Each structure stands twice: as C-alpha cells, then as structure tokens.
C-alpha cells in the first residue's frame, strides 16, 4: 500500500491499467493517472494526473459517491440519489 497525499478516510478504490479512482467517507471521488479518453472524469481539458485530483462537476457535486470502478479506457462512479 502507498499513502495518497491529501486523501483521508478512503473507503473504496478501483484501478485500471493506467488510472485509479478512490472515494472517501465524505462521498468525494479522486482520480489520477492517464486521461487520454477522459476516463478520470475531470473533463476534456484535463491532462494526465500524477497525483489524486478531486472529481467535481454538476453530475457529482453533493451527490455522495459510494462506488467507483475502472477499466482499460473508462472510469465509472455510483452516487446516492439526489433530492
């Protein structure tokens, strides 16, 4: 295991061949690795990320991410239903 800078209370982590995503008890998701197909969920303008970066945006903000998954060229997240 390797400590992740700035990540505390991780509850679930998934890794693909070239990227990883983790979720925390607070329901936040962090992603790092290659982003050539936007698999990190950080947007089209995001470069590859050498360290974890919080995934933000209207699809995830205040939703409570409870699960993450990674594959070869994709990342997936599951959130609590809003409203």
| Chain segment 15-67, per-residue pLDDT in tens | 999 999 999 999 999 999 998 888 888 887 789 999 999 998 887 877 889 99
What pLDDT does residue 17 have? 92
What pLDDT does residue 82 have? 65
Beta strand extents in 1-83 (DSSP E only): 10-15, 19-24, 29-33, 49-54, 65-70, 75-79
Q: Are 5 and 52 in contact (CB under 8 A)?
A: yes
Taking every pair of Cα atoms in the chain, the longest distance, rounded to a whole number of angstroms, is 37
Q: Are 75 and 35 in contact (CB under 8 A)?
A: no
What pLDDT does residue 60 have? 81
- Could you tell me which residue, 69 or 5, shows the higher pLDDT? 69
**Residues near 22 by beta carbon (within 8 Å), at least 6 away in sequence:** 4, 7, 10, 12, 13, 14, 29, 30, 31, 52, 68
Res 83 pLDDT > 60: no
């Amino acid at each position: 295991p390797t400590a992740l800078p700035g990540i505390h209370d991780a509850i679930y982590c998934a890794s693909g061949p070239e990227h990883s995503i983790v979720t925390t008890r607070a329901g936040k998701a962090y992603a790092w690795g290659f982003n050539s197909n936007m698999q990190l969920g950080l947007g089209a303008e995001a470069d590859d990320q050498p360290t974890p970066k919080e995934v933000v945006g209207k699809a995830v903000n205040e939703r409570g991410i409870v699960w993450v998954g990674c594959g070869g060229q994709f990342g997936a997240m599951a959130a609590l239903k809003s409203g």
